[in-house]
Structure 1
Amino acid sequence: MTEPLVTLQNLEKRYGHSMAIHDVSLQLYPGEAVALVGMSGGGKSTIMRLIAGLEKPTGGRLTYQDPAPVMRVMYQDDRLLPWLTVQDNVGFGQHGQWVTDLLAAVGLSEAAEQYPAQLSGGQRQRLALARALLAKPQLLLLDEPLGALDALTRRKMQDLIMRICAERHLSSLLITHDVQEAARMADWIIVVKDGTNVYQTAGAKGQEAATVAKVGEDVLRVILDEQVRA
Structure 2
Amino acid sequence: MLRGMNLLEIEGLAKSYLDPEGRRQDVLRVESLAVGEGEQMALRGRSGSGKTTLLNLIAGLGLPDAGHIRIGGTEITTLSEAARDRFRARHLGYVFQTFNLLQGYTALENVVLGMAFGPGRDRSAAQGLLERLGLGDRLHYRPGQLSVGQQQRVAVARALANRPRLVLADEPTGNLDPTHAGEALELMRSMCTDAGAALLLVSHDEAVLERFDRCVDLSDINTARPATAEATR
TM-score, with normalisation over the residues of structure 1?
0.78
How far did residue 97 of structure 1 move? 2.0
The structure with higher relative contact order (CA 8 Å, sep 6+) is 2
1:61 to 53, 57, 68: 68
- Partner of 1:168 in structure 2? 195
In 2, the alpha carbon distance for the partners of 1:46 and 1:116 equals 26
Give the count of matched residue pairs.
197
Structure 2 CA distance for aligned equivalents of residues 107 and 160 of structure 1: 10
Aligned counterparts, 1:169-184, within 5 A: 169-184=196-211
Gap change, CA 1:194 and 1:165, over 3 Å in 2: closer
Find 1:5's aligned residue among 4, 7, 19.
Answer: 7
1:1-230 pair list within 5 angstroms: 3-16=5-18, 17-66=24-73, 70-92=91-113, 94=121, 96-184=123-211, 186-193=212-219, 196=222
User: 1:48-88 deviations in whole A, cap 9, x for unaligned?
Assistant: 11111112111222222236770121112122222212211
Separation (CA, whole Å) in 1 of partners of 2:165 and 2:122: 23
CA distance in 2, matches of 1:197, 1:110: 48
Amino acid at match of 2:8: V
Structure 2, gaps ≥5 residues long? 19-23, 75-86, 225-233
Deviation digits for residues 204-229 of structure 1 (CA, Å, limit 9, x no counterpart):
xxxxxxxxxxxxxxxxxxxxxxxxxx
Query: Equivalents in 1 of 2:29, 2:144: separation in Å?
Result: 41
Q: Secondary structure at the match of 1:189?
A: strand
The alignment partner of 1:109 has SS state of coil
Aligned equivalents of 1:95 and 1:4: distance in 2?
Answer: 30
Asked if the contact 2:28/2:223 (under 8 Å) is kept, the reply is: no
Gaps of 5+ in 1: 199-230
Deviation at 1:2, TM superposition (A): 5.2
Pair 1:183–1:197, CA change in 2 (3 A): farther
4+ runs deviating over 3 angstroms? 66-69
Is the CA contact (8 Å cut-off) linking 1:32 and 1:187 kept in structure 2?
A: no
The verdict on how the C-alpha distance between 1:196 and 1:47 changes in structure 2, with shifts beyond 3 A counting, is same
Q: CA deviation at 1:24?
A: 3.3
| Contact 1:142-1:172 at 8 Å conserved across structures | yes
Q: TM-score, normalised by structure 2?
A: 0.77
Say if 1:80 and 1:116, in contact at 8 Å, map to a contact too. Answer: yes
Cα distance in 2, alignment partners of residues 58 and 195 from structure 1:
17
State, as a whole percentage, how many aligned pairs show the same letter.
Answer: 32
Please give the root-mean-square deviation of Cα atoms over the aligned residues, in Å: 2.2
- Change in CA separation of 1:39 and 1:107 when aligned onto 2, cut-off 3 Å: same
1:23–1:115 Cα change, 3 Å: closer
